[in-house]
């Protein structure tokens, strides 16, 4: 992945565009030696693009800038049910030639209108998932996730979930180390699994959560231990039932899913940075044996640990 094009239109949502720029559009970052992309912002009619937050954009490039892009992103607009036929055709053409196509927030409606979400799992901002499901009954709308990938098509939920989806693509393409370095540069957690809930009662911010922050930090330092609900609940001085309910309220996922995600992330890093065997890594990250690691890794990442190491080992 070398070239990234972002399509913006009138009534552009500034945070949506900004989240894409943060991950893909930095011109240089020598402090972490992560990839620099040929990053292009384009629009159907080059020139002034109307904003909706007190300022406009000036965009020089037309939609031809998407024609050879490896990743074509669609930035959300306020008037998301108004469709430009040229933009719909860009989405279809990018998918047809095998490029990655990513729609952030309500820009997912562009892909749905273009017919690209028929029969596919997808998401959009939680306020509009019912609208999408009703308007596009052939799309499989998942209202309770941060992002969804179906083959080369990625849809993300609102606002900050756009960064999560972009980091997911970064991790998939360049590995955990590059994704973590990118996340560190823009000061966000390196990985939030797409299956987490969009709307969380009290979102955990790294490990400073009011109730569970200390337990999450401790668990992340003891991934090789038995981290079942009972163990974590004792550490939090709660009953298992209360702990499980509080955990989902604060993280949007279950303790088991969270621990598994942390173990997978550590396994990725060890596969990249060490020569330890898969058996050794499985023991060190808490999966116990290579077969269990292979099962979870292949299910979550789509490749075996050995294949991941061949692709991303430093």
Q: Which of 208, 212, 256 is nearest to 237 (CA)?
A: 212
CATH number at residue 115: 3.40.50.880
pTM > 0.85: yes or no: no
Its domain, for residue 85, covers 3-185
CB 33 within 8 A of CB 69: no
Are residues 219 and 164 part of one domain? no
Are residues 131 and 7 part of one domain? yes
- The total domain count for the chain is 3
CATH number at residue 271: 1.10.10.60
How far is Cα 192 from Cα 44, in angstroms, rounded to an integer?
33
Are residues 10 and 95 part of one domain? yes
Is 119 domain-assigned? Answer: yes
* Tens-place pLDDT, residues 138-171: 999 998 888 999 999 999 998 788 888 999 899 8
Are residues 103 and 19 part of one domain? yes
Is 64 domain-assigned? Answer: yes
Helix (H) or strand (E) holding 289: none
Are residues 98 and 230 part of one domain? no
Angle, helix 14-24 to helix 161-174, in steps of 10 degrees: 20
Are residues 248 and 280 part of one domain? no
Are residues 141 and 38 part of one domain? yes
Is 205 domain-assigned? Answer: no
Is 218 domain-assigned? Answer: yes
Which segments of the chain are extended strands (E)? Answer: 3-7, 38-42, 47-49, 57-59, 71-74, 100-104, 121-122, 140-141, 147-150, 153-156
* Tens-place pLDDT, residues 21-71: 999 998 877 777 789 999 999 999 999 999 988 899 999 999 999 999 999
* Tens-place pLDDT, residues 100-136: 999 999 999 999 999 999 999 999 998 999 999 999 9
Is 190 domain-assigned? Answer: no
10 Å Cβ neighbour count for 26? 16
Are residues 139 and 47 part of one domain? yes
- Of 226, 253, 280, the residue that ends a domain is 253
Is 197 domain-assigned? Answer: no
CB 228 within 8 A of CB 240: no
């Amino acid at each position: 992945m070398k070239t990234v094009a972002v399509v913006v239109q009138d009534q552009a949502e500034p945070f949506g565009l900004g989240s894409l720029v943060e991950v893909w559009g930095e011109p240089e970052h020598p402090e972490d030696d992560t990839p620099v992309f040929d990053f292009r912002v384009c629009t159907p009619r080059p020139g002034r693009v109307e904003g909706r937050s007190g300022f406009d954009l000036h965009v020089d490039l037309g939609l031809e800038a998407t024609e050879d892009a490896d990743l074509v992103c669609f930035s959300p607009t306020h008037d998301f049910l108004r469709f430009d036929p040229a933009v719909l055709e860009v989405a279809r053409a990018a998918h047809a030639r095998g490029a990655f196509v990513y729609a952030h927030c309500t820009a997912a409606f562009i892909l749905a209108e273009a017919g690209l979400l028929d029969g596919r799992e997808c998401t959009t901002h939680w306020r509009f998932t019912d609208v999408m499901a009703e308007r596009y009954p052939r799309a499989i709308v998942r209202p309770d996730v941060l992002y969804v990938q179906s083959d080369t098509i990625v849809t993300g939920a609102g606002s900050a979930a756009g960064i999560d989806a972009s980091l997911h693509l970064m991790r998939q393409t360049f590995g955990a180390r590059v994704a973590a370095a990118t996340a560190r540069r823009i000061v966000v957690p390196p990985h939030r699994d797409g299956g987490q809930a969009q709307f969380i009662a009290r979102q955990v911010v790294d490990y400073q959560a009011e109730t569970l922050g200390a337990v999450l930090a401790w668990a992340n330092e003891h991934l090789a231990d038995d981290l079942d609900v009972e163990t974590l609940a004792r550490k939090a001085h709660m009953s298992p039932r209360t702990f499980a309910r509080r955990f989902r309220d604060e993280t949007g996922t279950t303790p088991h899913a969270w621990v598994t995600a942390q173990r997978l992330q550590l396994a990725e890093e060890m596969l990249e940075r060490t020569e330890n065997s898969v058996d050794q890594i499985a023991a060190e990250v808490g999966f116990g044996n290579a077969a269990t690691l292979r099962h979870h890794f292949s299910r979550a990442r789509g490749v075996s640990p050995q294949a991941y190491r061949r692709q991303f080992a430093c």
